[in-house]
Structures are given as C-alpha cells and as structure tokens.
C-alpha cells in the first residue's frame, strides 16, 4: 500500500505543473472592485480556484454600485484594482472626467455585450427586417430597421431614449456605432455640453447595468446596450428583445480591462505581476477544452456575491448560445471569449479604437495627430507587464509559449471590413484616416461649437 501511494505521488508530481517560488510581493492583502456582469469572471475564478493564493495574494472582491464609484475607489486607494470599462483608464489619463493616470496590464475579455429593444419597438421594427427560410429574422440586424420607428416617435412628439452604462463605456461606443451604421445620429459631446445629445436622433443616457431591465420595463427607455446577463434577463422577463450582439457588430472586439493606478504598478511591481499571473490562469481555465468549464463558471457567477442572477439566465449566453426572441436561440460560441484570440493581451490598437470613438463623438474636442493616439495608448496599455507575467506562467507550467503573442509590436493586424457591421475596416496605426472613413462623426479639423459642427 505504501509503495503504491509513493508511486502515485511520484506520477502526480511528474505530470502536474511545478509550483514556482512566490514572487516577493510588496503588498499581499488586496481589494478589487467589480460590477455585477459575467465578464468579471476572471476575478471570480482566480479567487475561487485559488490562483491568487497560489501567488501569495490574499484578495477580497467587492461589488461596486456603479462605474463612477468603482473608478473613484481605485483612484483614492480604497480599491487596489478593478474590473473596468476599457474607456475608463484612457479617459482618466487624458483628463476626460476624473483625471488620474490609470493603466491596464490585462484585458479581461472579448465580446459579451448586446443591444436590446422593448417589445413595442421590436414589433415596429419587424416589418423592416428580412427573414430566413424558417421565418426567423436575418442577423445581423441593422439599426436602419429602427430608423422608421425613431421617425414615428419624433412625428408623435416623443423622444426616443436608449440606455448605456457610462459615457466612456464600450456599450456607449457600440450603441453609437450601430446607430450611426444604420443612419441614425447618436449625438455629440462638447466641452460645454457633456450630455452627448447634441443633434441626436436617439437620446442616450446612463443606466447602471443591473437596472437596465427594470428601466426598460418602466418605459423610461426604449432600448439599451449592456453586458450579460442583462440582455438575456429581458428575454426571460418577457420585456424586450436583443436585436444584435457585439460579436455581430464587430467580431472579437475588446471589452473590459483590469485597471490599476500607474502609482500602484510602480510601487508594487511584483504584486502587479502576481495579479496578472493569476488572472491569466483564470482566463485559460474559462476557455480551455472548448469552454468545458463554463457550466461550473456559471454556477460560481450566479452566487449573490458575484453577479447574482439565475444560473439559467447566465448560462444562456455564457455556454455558447444566445437567445434573441423567446425561443430563437442561436449558436454563438464566441459570445464570451476570455483567452482565445489573445483576448488577455492589452493591444495598443484596442486603446486607439476607443480613443477614435471619443474623438468621433466630441469627447476629445480637438483634432489630434496619429502620434498622439499612439502615445496615449502606450501610456495606458502595458503589454510589457503582461508578457513578463505570461513568461512566468509558462515557467510555472500552466501555459506554453505559443499561447502568447511575444513577437507582437502591440498592434493587431487591421480588422477587415467583413468583421464590422458597416463594412469599414479599422487599422489602429492610422486613426485619422479611419475617422475620415466614417460617414457620421467628427473628422479632420472639425469640432462642436454650440449645437453646430465647425471646420
């Protein structure tokens, strides 16, 4: 019996990854913030699977009331880091809103959002949407199908309101992108008017993610753009219909990031590496073996301390499908991506896209040269930290060299026209040429003065 156990132990030690020595972390007790969305999953999994502890970190995860509270918590040091909107570190660093130098050494995920409309709006849109042979709507659905609905609202003297989660959220920019691609103007920002509703056909306003379904049901908004599970919640409650996912809008688009202050990273370099190591392992676990761990992840996320929605609702999108109208469930295996396609690498080109959208809609009021976009991206996105952590994960035996883009210059290959709903390609190396190619939005020397675009 003793011999058998010794042999079994020896076999286990040979087949399992070697446990590396802990980094000499500067700070081992940490508090991270998050919003109740399924894409906070890497934090929950790193905690529940013991990956933080493996790095000598004792982490507390705390849900935050909204994105502003979360950002303020990181800036003032109440939080050591957080699950953030990708636009938040960029906006804070350039001084749009709260000013602070926030960086990201880790991208949380790709895709994961949807645009939902009320049942009333859906019924008005349906005559404008072609159908498949099975009678179901053809996807992706263009906002052009909603344009006559918005016009009818206007003719009846009613504003057409939609919700998004924060002015510098992916959701704001994705909703604006979808509307503009369908010929609807989502409105401009200016230094004197930060409502984002200047010259808007559709009025966008902020609603915290978990409150989206209730706000839709109350009739305050006619639709929204949000992450999961709050689109699927509208389906389960029978109050709305998701019309498009962001995967259909822009295939494998970047979503959330993990944000820390530049000061934290400078004062705690080993701690930062240890955090990123744990998050990389969590992302690998979430995607490995063709998403084999997703059902377990759904159970974890459904707990009240994390997302707190029903398992069935979270599973509807997290396990490779997405339900549009009730009963219209389609395969979308890449709706949530946490590690595939280099999802965790903080690409400069992702940062540049967010900056182009800030410029497009007037959050960046004045024109900027291409070099400015590159400089800001490199001041916020930190692939050098990510790759150093990745190298350590490989040395620990949890990943292989081929899993990471060590030869990247930080810019993705241009996104082809076929991967974006309006058929306009994106190259992060030429942001101004990209802005010039978009039919709606600021370009060149243009700026918003009062209610007019000048230049």
> Is 451 part of a structural domain of the chain?
no
Contact call for residues 129 and 145 (beta carbons, < 8 A) = yes
Q: Judge contact between 330 and 321, C-beta under 8 A.
A: yes
In whole angstroms, give the CA distance from residue 314 to residue 52.
24
Structure tokens at 371: 């070099």
- For residues 407 and 410, what is the distance between their CA atoms, to the nearest angstrom? 9
Q: Which pLDDT value is given to residue 14? A: 39
- Please indicate, yes or no, whether residues 58 and 141 belong to a single structural domain of this protein: no
- Give me the domain span that covers residue 346: 24-110+254-403
Residue 18 has a pLDDT of 47
Picking from 291, 389, 374, the residue whose alpha carbon sits closest to that of residue 340 is 291
Domain shared by 134 and 268, yes or no? no
Give domain status of residue 246, yes or no: yes
**Residue 239: which residues within 8 A CB-CB, separation 6 or more?**
118, 119, 213, 216, 217
Last residue within a domain, chosen from 217, 252, 287: 252
| CA angle 402–403–404, rounded 5-degree value | 90
Closest-CA residue to 203 (of 188, 215, 216, 217) = 188
DSSP tag of 425: -
* Residues 196 and 203: beta-carbon distance below 8 Å: no
Distance from C-alpha of 366 to C-alpha of 445, rounded to nearest angstrom:
7
Q: What is the rounded (10 degree) CA torsion for 308, 311, 317, 323?
A: -110
Q: Is residue 74 part of a domain?
A: yes
Same domain, 77 and 92: yes
Of 416, 274, 371, 321, the residue nearest 114 (C-alpha): 321
Strand 58-63 to 257-261 pairing: unpaired
Residue at 414 is within a domain: no
Tell me the three state secondary structure of residue 30.
strand
Taking the C-alpha atoms of residue 316 and residue 311, their distance in angstroms, rounded to an integer, is: 9
Tell me the two tokens of residue 109.
């995920």
Closest CA to 150 of 178, 114, 113, 172: 178
Chain-centre distance of CA 209, in angstroms? 13
Domain membership flag for residue 55: yes
Q: Is the same domain home to 235 and 340?
A: no
Count of residues for the chain?
455
| Type and span of the H or E element at 90 | helix 87-94
Element containing residue 89 per DSSP (H, E): helix 87-94
Same domain, 202 and 297: no
Helices 170-181, 348-360: inter-axial angle, 10-degree rounding: 60
Same-domain status, 80 and 198:
no
Same domain, 48 and 147: no
CA distance 222 to 424: 28
Torsion sign across C-alpha atoms 166, 167, 169, 174: positive
Residues 327, 191, single domain; the answer is no
Q: Is residue 11 part of a domain?
A: no
Calculate ∠ Cα 304-37-335, nearest 5°. 130
Rounded Cα distance between 345 and 366, Å, is: 30
Query: Does 448 reside within a domain?
Result: no
* Residue 249 and residue 177 in contact, taking contact as beta carbons nearer than 8 Å: yes
CA distances from 146 to 11, 205, 398 (A): 62, 18, 48
Which pLDDT does position 362 carry in this prediction?
A: 98
Q: What pLDDT, on the 0 to 100 scale, is given for residue 20? A: 56
How far apart are alpha carbons 390 and 404 in whole angstroms?
7
Give the pLDDT score at 309.
Answer: 93
- Looking at the fold, whether 231 and 91 belong to one and the same domain comes out as no
Residues 120, 201, single domain; the answer is yes
What's 153's domain CATH number? 3.40.190.10
Strands 321-323 and 110-111: unpaired
Provide the β-strand partners of residue 250: 420
Q: What average pLDDT values come out for the chain (455 residues) when binned by 10 residues?
A: 37 44 93 96 98 98 96 98 98 94 98 98 98 94 98 97 96 98 98 96 95 97 96 96 97 97 98 98 97 98 96 94 93 95 98 98 98 98 98 98 98 97 98 98 96 94
pLDDT at 214: 97
User: At residue 201, what are phi and psi to the nearest 5 degrees?
Assistant: -80, -35
Task: For residues 162 and 221, give the distance between their C-alpha atoms in angstroms, rounded to a whole number.
Answer: 5
Residue 343 lies in a domain: yes
Domain co-membership, 351 together with 324: yes
Work out whether strand 81-84 and strand 29-34 pair parallel, antiparallel, or are unpaired: parallel
In angstroms, the Cα distances linking 403 to 306, 383, 394 are: 28, 14, 9
Q: Among 252, 279, 314, where does a domain finish?
A: 252
Residues 278 and 155 in one domain: no
Residue 16 CA to residue 295 CA, distance in Å, equals 24
Domain end call among 219, 252, 285: 252
Query: How many domains in the chain?
Result: 2
């Amino acid at each position: 019996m003793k011999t058998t156990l010794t042999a079994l132990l020896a076999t286990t030690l040979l087949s399992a990854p070697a446990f590396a020595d802990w980094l000499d972390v500067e700070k081992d007790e940490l508090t991270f913030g998050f919003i109740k969305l399924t894409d906070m999953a890497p934090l929950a999994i790193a905690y529940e699977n013991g990956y933080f502890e493996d790095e000598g970190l004792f982490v507390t995860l705390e849900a935050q009331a909204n994105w502003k509270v979360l950002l303020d918590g990181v800036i003032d040091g109440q939080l050591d880091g957080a699950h953030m909107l990708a636009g938040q570190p960029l906006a804070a660093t350039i001084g749009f809103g709260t000013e602070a130098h926030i960086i990201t050494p880790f991208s949380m995920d790709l895709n994961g959002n949807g645009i939902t409309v009320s049942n009333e709006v859906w019924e008005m849109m349906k005559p404008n949407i072609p159908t498949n042979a099975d009678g179901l709507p053809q996807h992706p659905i263009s906002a052009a199908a909603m344009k006559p609905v918005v016009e009818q609202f206007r003719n009846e003297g009613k504003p057409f309101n939609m919700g998004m989660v924060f002015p510098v959220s992916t959701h704001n920019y994705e909703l604006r992108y979808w509307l503009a691609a369908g010929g609807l103007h989502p409105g401009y920002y200016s230094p004197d008017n930060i409502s984002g509703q200047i010259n808007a056909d559709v009025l966008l306003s902020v609603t915290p993610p978990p409150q989206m379904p209730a706000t839709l049901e109350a009739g305050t908004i006619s639709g929204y753009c949000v992450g999961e599970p709050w689109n699927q919640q509208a389906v389960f409650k029978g109050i709305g219909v998701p019309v498009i996912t962001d995967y259909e809008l822009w295939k494998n688009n970047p979503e959330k990031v993990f944000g820390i202050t530049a000061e934290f990273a400078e004062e705690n370099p080993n701690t930062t590496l240890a955090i990123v190591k744990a998050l990389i392992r969590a992302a690998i676990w979430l995607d490995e073996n063709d998403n084999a761990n997703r059902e377990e992840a759904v159970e974890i996320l459904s707990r009240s301390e994390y997302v707190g929605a029903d398992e069935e609702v979270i599973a509807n999108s997290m396990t490779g499908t997405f339900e549009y109208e009730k009963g219209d469930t389609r395969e979308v295996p890449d709706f949530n991506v946490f590690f595939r396609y280099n999802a965790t690498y903080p690409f400069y080109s992702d940062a540049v896209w967010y900056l182009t959208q800030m410029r497009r809609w007037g959050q960046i009021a004045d024109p900027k040269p291409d070099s400015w976009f590159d400089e800001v991206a490199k001041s916020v996105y930190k692939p050098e930290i990510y790759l150093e952590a990745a190298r350590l994960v490989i040395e620990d035996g949890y990943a292989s060299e081929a899993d990471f883009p060590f030869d990247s210059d930080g810019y993705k290959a241009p996104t082809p026209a076929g991967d974006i709903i309006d058929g306009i390609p994106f190259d992060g190396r030429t942001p101004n040429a990209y802005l010039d190619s978009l039919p709606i939005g600021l370009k060149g020397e243009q700026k918003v003065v009062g209610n007019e675009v000048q230049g």
